[in-house]
A and B are shown apart, each in its own frame.
Chain A
């Protein structure tokens, strides 16, 4: 080997060291960038025996996909949990102070007190204000959860905007990668970016990715509808103007196929969109139907019934509802009437501030909201006795009696009103508790997978440092080599010169 070739080798070493140091410093610079995959300089020898250094990006396709799935699962569960917590916050704190079940229990207790001392009009007023609290609580709950559905529509709209934006950026990067792969340019930074967009898209909607020739990527949603193939597919969604118990939400249509909603407390939803659909289309409507049945149960329980065997139909008593007109039949027992919890109210005939008289509850035979339907057929206290407690005690008794409820509400088909209302709380808590456990599991899984990915493709400063020492050594060695060759040349030249 000639001295010239030794110099040439030393030069290669300098150039390689330079390239590797560049990669190393990029690694160090990105040590805390979660979307960065470590670059490695790989030395290969080509067929001609020449050394060639290429800078490669470490990757683990399996772990990247796993991260995407876990991100989608975890984001969906987080959203579900957050929405459920919001519904629960309507029920008050650990004692469920503002839940209808609590107001029902209070109403029962004040009725019992009134039945024991039926001549005391303040006790009558207590019962009526307890009933008003209960009706208000049902109205509020119904209003709040329906407006939540409206908020969810808005959120879906925002997320779809975000998704469209991401797909657009994804498209740009994917284009560069395709072109770069074809021409052999350095596309490592673009690959990092594409991975980052994939993770962000996964948060919104679960995706599966396939890589084709030239590193071109195709995206499907976890449902199987096409999300991206050489261009983003169309996503269509129209928010509803307003929600009530009878409104159905509009679907999210991706490439012509409606997106499925999630299911269960441990949700099957992948990505926040499916979780939002689950809350909007399954959880809130079911909870609403339970509130509606609670309201219906109360109206039925307190209806004024025939006291004289004259065969008159029942009319509303303590509780009535917006939209009741003289001659209407009351909502059928055991059958869901949508939106009743928003419409339930206390009969004006019993409210002092509305010109009514609370003590009429004791006697029966009173009017409903000034409709003029009062009749002595419903009158229990025919002699106007102040100590008459039969009707009041009858109401108290009804709190202990099972009544039929619609099975479609997913609760007991036959229960006391109190048990039905607490059952509804139990249903929600069961959902929340399943969801909370699932949330813990899924976020633990996500952090494990992210950690594994980070450990595989992330940067360890210590390792970079030790590599730097290597580089330093090889740099020193090659400079030594150059100076040795130089000295040899020098001594040769001196010998020739003399």
Chain B
């Protein structure tokens, strides 16, 4: 007759199994305490793992956007700085021209012409600002230096202007006959030749694209958040820059030549007008980029806030309560000690020893 429903094999096996189980749990908990995440995320989360992966991807994407936004910010502030320089230079030119106020004094005229040549240089330098290997005022044609040096006739702008003068009046710009040009002719030269040369792409006189600017009309655009794309550079092809170049060129080229007083007034009035438009135009671009700068900083704030939120979500999803895990370790260690003790004692318990 069997009286006991327990076999020796069952006793030893169950002890061994429980020790194994505790040991496994112990290593898992140890890792969880160190990493603060589940030891095996996939097994705990199952199908929800894809959500955890999506959140990780989102965090990385937003961190990446924050990094690329810093490139965008740098580009925007460099462009702003360049345009501020240009706008200030325009203001200097305007002040000089206004101060000239129809003066015929040779020295004063030369000084004014010199100042405006400086303005033209400043404009060229600032327009050619390059950051990280990109010309920031060159539109999307970032590899090309947008504005050639007029005084050095780098791209032939000076030649184009002088040729236009010569073909309109029938003599070269430094010819004494210039004294005979009257105000009406000069006005006509400015409005039918010079203005189209800078502003009207349909006119045969148009030379901005070829002799002046290498820039692309299209400004650079950059993605600053998941959904938002903003303009992040501008192009010297926008009207403000053209007016500035035009005003500065006629002032440097035409003011110093020996012409009559009222003709010179026509020139200087035209130049003042152009400079005014130039400053307005450049400031308009600055406002435009200022808006972009504002958008970028807003986007950064939003991104940062989102990153924080998503990280919290991730923590909820796959994080382990470290205190809980470490108390679990203590409990498991105790359990193991008890188990070892019991194993030792039980294996000593045998009727054989008593007989």
Binding site for B on A (CB under 8 A): 31-34, 38, 40, 58, 88, 94-96, 101-102, 105, 108-109, 112-113, 115-120, 383, 385-390, 393, 396-397, 400, 418-419, 422-430, 432-434, 436, 447, 450-451, 454-463, 465-466, 469
Contacts and interface: CB of A to CB of B under 8 A. Distances in A.
Closest 8 CB pairs of A and B: A426-B50, A458-B7, A433-B46, A430-B47, A387-B142, A387-B140, A386-B143, A429-B42
Given A58-B2, A386-B140, A387-B134, A430 B350 contact: no
Contact of A88 (B8, B42, B133, B352): B42
B303 to A, nearest CB: 12
Nearest to A31: B8
Interface residues on B, range: 35 or more
Interface string B1-32: 11111111110111001000000000000000
7 contacts: A101-B53, A112-B65, A120-B133, A425-B42, A433-B47, A460-B6, A461-B352
Given A32-B8, A94-B37, A462-B4, A447 B17 contact: yes
Most chain A Cβ neighbours within 10 Å, of B3, B10, B68, B132:
B10
Given A119-B133, A461-B350, 13 more contacts: A105-B57, A115-B222, A116-B72, A400-B226, A422-B50, A429-B46, A432-B43, A433-B43, A433-B46, A433-B47, A454-B10, A456-B5, A463-B2
A115 B223 contact: yes
B2 A425 contact: no
Contacts of A102: 53
Nearest to B144: A386
A118 B221 CA distance: 11
Contact of A101 (B57, B64, B144): B57
A451 B9 CA distance: 8
B41 interface: yes
- Interface SS, A side: helix
A105 B1 CA distance: 70
Given A112-B64, A115-B223, A463 B216 contact: no
A426 B9 contact: no
B233 interface: yes
Contacts of A388: 140
A422 B60 CA distance: 14
Residue of B60, B64, B133, B221 with most partner-chain A CB within 10 A: B64
A450 B7 CA distance: 11
B270 interface: no
Given A387-B140, A425-B53, A447-B17, A460 B4 contact: yes
A427 B71 contact: no
A436 B43 contact: yes
Contacts of A429: 42-43, 45-47, 49-50
B220 interface: yes
A117 B7 contact: no
Given A430-B47, A461-B350, A119 B60 contact: no
Interface in B337-355: 350-352, 355
Given A393-B223, A426-B51, A430-B46, A455 B134 contact: no
Nearest to B355: A465
A119 B352 contact: no
Contacts of B144: 386
A458 B220 contact: no
A399 to B, nearest CB: 9
B40 interface: yes
Contact of B2 (A38, A96, A119, A424): A38
B54 interface: yes
B216 A116 contact: no
A422 B140 contact: no
Nearest to A34: B9
B319 to A, nearest CB: 13
Question: Which one of A96, A105, A457 has the greatest number of beta carbons of chain B within 10 Å?
Answer: A105
B115 interface: no
Given A115-B222, A116-B71, A426 B53 contact: yes
Contacts of B229: 393
Contact of B8 (A117, A389, A457, A460): A460
B137 to A, nearest CB: 11
Contacts of A422: 49-50, 53-54, 57
Contacts of A33: 9
Given A119-B143, A386-B140, A465-B351, A32 B9 contact: yes
B140 A427 contact: no
A113 B134 CA distance: 15
Contacts of A96: 53
B61 interface: yes
Contacts of A108: 61
B18 to A, nearest CB: 11
A455 B10 contact: yes
A5 B99 CA distance: 155
B268 interface: no
Contacts of B352: 461, 465
Most A CB atoms within 10 A — which of B72, B141, B144? Answer: B141
A349 B45 CA distance: 42
- Pick the most buried of A120, A393, A436, A455: most chain B CB atoms within 10 A of its CB: A455
Contact of A466 (B44, B49, B233, B351): B351
A226 B128 CA distance: 88
Contact of A425 (B49, B133, B226): B49
Contacts of B134: 117, 119, 386-387
A457 B38 CA distance: 42
B138 interface: yes
B139 interface: yes
Nearest to A88: B42
Nearest to A386: B143
B5 to A, nearest CB: 5
Interface in B185-210: none
Contacts of B41: 94
Contacts of A433: 42-47
A77 B352 CA distance: 41
A396 B68 CA distance: 13
B313 to A, nearest CB: 15
Nearest to A42: B1
Given A432-B42, A460-B7, A461-B352, A119 B68 contact: no
Contacts of A428: 42
Contacts of A109: 60-61, 64
Contacts of A447: 13-14, 17
Contacts of A461: 8, 350-352
Given A432-B43, A454-B7, A387 B223 contact: no
Given A40-B2, A116-B222, A387-B233, A427 B8 contact: no
| Chain A CB within 10 A, most for which of B38, B216, B351 | B351
B40 to A, nearest CB: 7
Interface string B139-155: 11111100000000000
A387 B139 contact: yes
Contacts of A434: 46
A125 to B, nearest CB: 15
Contacts of B218: 385
Contacts of B351: 461-462, 465-466
B53 A387 contact: no
Contacts of B221: 389-390, 393
Nearest to B65: A112
B67 interface: yes
A38 B5 CA distance: 12
